[in-house]
Homo-oligomer: A and B are copies of this chain.
Amino acid sequence: MESESKPKKIGILTAGGDCPGLNAAIRGVGKTAIVEYGMEVYGFNAGYLGLIENDYIKLSESQLSGILTEGGTILGTSREKPYKMVKKGKTKNPEKPKKIKKTYEKLGLDCVVCIGGNGTMKTANMLAQEGINVIGIPKTIDNDVWGTDVTFGFDSAVQVATEAVDRLHTTANSHQRVMIIEVMGHHAGWLALYSGLAGGGDIILIPEVPYNIRSVCKKIEKRYENKKPYSIVVVAEGIDHPKGKSAAAHIGEAIHTYTEIETRETVLGYVQRGGSPTPMDRILATQYGSYAAQCIADGCFGTMVAMNKNELTTIPLSEVGGNLRLVDEEHPLIVKARRMGVSFGDEYLNE
């Protein structure tokens, strides 16, 4: 068959916020495509912008060497959303999707691999509906992409955040203070939950579990009475709090007001998404990338690669977009943490 005789041409792009493992995923796609399937691989610059503006580089195997351990993305990224409403709720700009189609056809691509988070998958799905072959690869330190048990970037972020919690312990103990640390997570509390547990946090506040500040303070006071005059509070940035200040500042001030115990806040910020990926993120990103190349060879388009109960699988992009994978209030980790005395800020609501 002719279609098998000529090498396939594929594109890769990374979109949305950067996170550790993007280069490992690019390498996974590219090396498998080149070594195993003899495909030609093009990397688009700055996410969907490169696709719109026909801005790309051809990737050889040697360009993919040595990037496995590097943070960030050799392709660059952007927040460009080609299907964004021109006026909110009104109308879309049809120019950008047109340009993408033009680039796709001009280059004679057989597929574009879109590496990103929820927003990226949503766009990828729209491209698929326009007849472009796409495969999605889920990445985000928030771990909240629907349809997969885990995204790469998460393990690395947990490590950075946990190391920070570890460091705060010594100051909390030495000064007998309440240390509040705010980690990323606008909607999902995965990062706060994992780094809170791994760091031995006493109180963990996440968007999915509504907290009550009196409950938080009661936990701190009980520890005080039990001769533990210091506490670590891990909060996700997306918990309920007034605008104009950080979640950490809000919680810190409230605790100080009620308990009069000294508090100190840390907003961990962008260090959570930078740096070399952990070994497990390198492996996960590599697997996703390699599997995406296999999916192209198999013609399994319009899907996102995913991990389901430890097995690589695919899920239709149409099922992914717009949905978030949040922490269940009865998640086994929460249930177990409560049994060990960790507070989620909601224990004493009715007392």
**Chain A residues in the interface with B (C-beta under 8 A):** 14, 17-18, 20, 22, 27-28, 31-32, 35-36, 46, 61-62, 65-66, 68-73, 76-78, 149, 155, 158-160, 162-164, 166-171, 173-176, 179, 194-195, 197-200, 227-228, 264-271, 273-276, 278-280, 282-283, 286-287, 290-291, 293-294, 309-312, 332-333, 336, 339-341
- A280 touches which of B22, B155, B168 (Cβ 8 Å): B155
Q: Is the CB of B170 within 8 A of A274?
A: yes
Bound together, the chains give a CA A312 to CA B31 distance in angstroms of 36
Q: Is the CB of B200 within 8 A of A278?
A: no
Once A158-B280, A279-B194 are accepted as A-B contacts, the answer to whether A31 and B267 lie under 8 Å apart by CB is no
User: A291 — which chain B residues lie within 8 A by C-beta?
Assistant: 336
User: A267 — which chain B residues lie within 8 A by C-beta?
Assistant: 267, 269
Once A72-B170, A170-B70 are accepted as A-B contacts, the answer to whether A283 and B194 lie under 8 Å apart by CB is yes
Q: Is the CB of B273 within 8 A of A171?
A: yes
Q: Is the CB of B149 within 8 A of A310?
A: yes
- A72 touches which of B174, B199, B264, B280 (Cβ 8 Å): B174
Q: Is the CB of B171 within 8 A of A18?
A: yes
Q: How close is A25's CB to chain B, nearest CB, in angstroms?
A: 12
- A69 touches which of B166, B271, B294 (Cβ 8 Å): B166
- The complex is assembled from copies of this chain, and their number is 4
Q: Which residue of B lies closest to A73 (CB)?
A: B174
Q: Is the CB of B332 within 8 A of A275?
A: no
Q: Is the CB of B274 within 8 A of A195?
A: no
Known contacts A163-B275, A290-B336; can you find 15 more A-B pairs with CB under 8 A? Answer: A17-B175, A32-B340, A61-B341, A69-B166, A69-B199, A76-B175, A167-B275, A168-B270, A169-B274, A170-B275, A198-B282, A278-B278, A286-B340, A287-B333, A310-B310
User: A333 — which chain B residues lie within 8 A by C-beta?
Assistant: 283, 287
- A283 touches which of B17, B18, B160, B198 (Cβ 8 Å): B198
Bound together, the chains give a CA A77 to CA B65 distance in angstroms of 20
- A279 touches which of B61, B159, B290, B340 (Cβ 8 Å): B159
Q: Is the CB of A35 within 8 A of B341?
A: yes
Bound together, the chains give a CA A115 to CA B261 distance in angstroms of 25
Q: Is the CB of A160 within 8 A of B167?
A: yes
User: A173 — which chain B residues lie within 8 A by C-beta?
Assistant: 72, 76
Q: Is the CB of A31 within 8 A of B159?
A: no
Bound together, the chains give a CA A293 to CA B291 distance in angstroms of 39
User: A35 — which chain B residues lie within 8 A by C-beta?
Assistant: 339-341
Bound together, the chains give a CA A168 to CA B18 distance in angstroms of 11
Once A65-B228, A309-B310 are accepted as A-B contacts, the answer to whether A175 and B77 lie under 8 Å apart by CB is yes
Q: Is the CB of B309 within 8 A of A167?
A: no
Q: Is the CB of B176 within 8 A of A76?
A: yes
